[in-house]
Amino acid sequence: MNYRHIYHAGNIGDVLKHIVLANILKYLQKKDAAYRVLDTHAGIGLYDLTSEKSQKTGEWQQGVGKVLENLDAAPGPVKNALVPWLETVENLNPGGGVHFYPGSPEIACMLARKQDRLTLTELHPEDFEELKNNYGGDKKVKVIALDAWLALGSFLPPKERRGVVLIDPAFEVEDEFDRLADGIIRGWKRWQTGIFAIWYPVKSHRTVDQLVATLKEAGIRNTIKLELSAGQVSSDQPMKSSGMLVINPPWTLTKDMNAALPWLCQTLSQGKGAKWSVEQVITE
């Protein structure tokens, strides 16, 4: 494993993923009952954007950086949709700006109530040690060095019977979408009422369509697809596009993302082809 998320923390893909996650968690908190978060590719959880590794790419500047720069001009419905995520960013940076950026474990920890629980799995040895240092002392959190695909078979269903599974692979290997489909189906069969939030890079719409078809064939229902593309700076550069599939989404999520994504698309656009979409790809 070579992937280290520190080089990409706070980029446009993170913005999409973390807005979705934060809104799901806020929805789950409408009931007092405890929930469980299973984060299968947890990373280190908290990112210093002034570090040498983060500064090497500077991807956050075109993601969370741009959002914060333009937030004051955002319409009210947009701000409302961004609030659950923005609060976690602002709590880490009380002086303003964005020195520290919360990964999904940090967002889940910051939003968790005393009754809620987290299971964080990470396979990269260096990232796991940092993850353990960051969260190993928190009684609400289990930090485990384990392959994500094994985690989906080991920790579902959770005893809380409510919650969300976040799956965001590094996509380092050629057959990652096949492994992703297998992992989702395995996890869903064990916990068919759980919310599954799956992040992916948009490199080929055919590949994404095939993933959706495979999930539908397995019996999965009620799935939405959210995509956000910043377009192309120039013709020789790839599209900066990513998406999420959400199985059993909160009923509020489509409304929130229909409010947020048009503004995010305009704000984060880097050139020709910037676009967004919210689509129900598998019906109930």
Name, in order, each residue with C-beta under 8 angstroms of 260's C-beta and a sequence gap of 6 or more.
Answer: 19, 78, 81, 82
Q: What is the pLDDT of residue 135?
A: 96
With CA atoms as reference, report the closest residue to 157 among 202, 120, 196, 192: 192
The secondary structure of residue 134, as a DSSP letter, is H
Active site residues: 168
Is 246 among the domain residues?
no
- At 274-283, the pLDDT tens digits run 999 999 999 9
Residue 127 lies in a domain: yes
Residue 240: per-residue pLDDT: 81
Backbone angles phi, psi at 117, to 5 degrees: -135, 150
Does residue 245 form part of some domain? no
Quote the mean pLDDT of the chain: 93
Q: CB–CB of 5/63 below 8 Å?
A: no
Q: Which two tokens stand for residue 120?
A: 């964080």
Query: Which residues are known binding-site members for S-adenosyl-L-methionine?
Result: 18, 41, 104, 122, 147-148, 168
Is residue 185, in this structure, part of any structural domain at all? yes
Domain count, the chain: 1
Residue bearing tokens 């809104």: 23
Instruction: Quote the domain boundaries for residue 95.
Output: 5-240+251-282
Binding residues, by number, are: 18, 41, 104, 122, 147-148, 168
What is the average pLDDT across 147-175?
A: 93
- Residue 233 is predicted with a pLDDT of 62
Residue 221 lies in a domain: yes
CB neighbours of 177 closer than 8 A, spacing ≥ 6? Answer: 200, 207, 210, 211
pTM, 2 dp: 0.95
Tally of CB atoms within 10 A around 132: 18
Q: Is residue 59 part of a domain?
A: yes
Considering only 12-21, 90-99, 246-255, which range has the smallest mean pLDDT? 90-99
- The CATH number covering residue 67 comes to 3.40.50.150
As a whole number, mean pLDDT of residues 256-262 equals 98
